Amino acid sequence: MGEMIAVENGSMGRVAYARIAPNEDLVQGVEKLCLAEGFRNAFVRGALGSLVDACMGTIDGKYLQIQGPAVEIVSLAGEVRQGDDGSLRAALTGVVADPEGNVYGGPFVAGLNPICMTFEVTLEEWLPAK
């Protein structure tokens, strides 16, 4: 699935819910949830929780850091895809609120968004048509 695909037909499969514990990474946590439940491709159907600090990418390759704790996740969308090498990669985008309620948005950088208290996430499996 590494080539550029504009349209992919498929159907929705199973649904998984997880509570991910403190200090686990948001992005890799979602990937590991797919490992735990046997999903290879999935969409986020709902998510909320908090981060210690948040780190989002910028268009010029820099990092937007928002200091907590806690930084609350107030909106999250994204997907998990299996790459050509078989590995799983989550791409998550969202809006976070700092401890004063000020909001920031962007793509979450893998490995740099440790969960603060809890992260609740529901994934729906995506089954691409063969």
Partner 1 sequence: MKRVVTTQLPRPRTLIHPGRFNPVRIQSLRSSKGRHVRLALLPGVSLFDGLVKPLAEMGITSASTTILGGYFEGVQYCVAPPDQQGQAVIAYSKPVPAGRTYMIFGNATLGTSMNGSPLVHCHAAIRTESGEVKGGHILTDTCIVSRDPVPVLVTSLDEFELRQAYDPETNIALLQPYKETTNG
List interacting residues with partner 1 (CB under 8 A).
12-25, 29, 32-33, 36-37, 45-50, 52-53, 55, 58, 61-70, 72-76, 95-104, 111-114, 116-118, 120, 122, 124
**Smallest distance from partner 1 to CB 108, Å:** 12
Nearer to partner 1, 37 or 79 (CB): 37
**Smallest distance from partner 1 to CB 84, Å:** 26
Distance CA(61)–CA(107), nearest Å, equals 11
**Smallest distance from partner 1 to CB 23, Å:** 5
Nearer to partner 1, 1 or 12 (CB): 12
How is 7-46 classified by DSSP, letter by letter? ---EEEEEEEEEEEPTTSBHHHHHHHHHHHHT-SSEEEEE
**Smallest distance from partner 1 to CB 85, Å:** 23
Residue with tokens 């920031």: 104
Distance CA(69)–CA(117), nearest Å, equals 10
Nearer to partner 1, 20 or 92 (CB): 20
CA-CA-CA-CA torsion sign (78, 34, 112, 59): negative
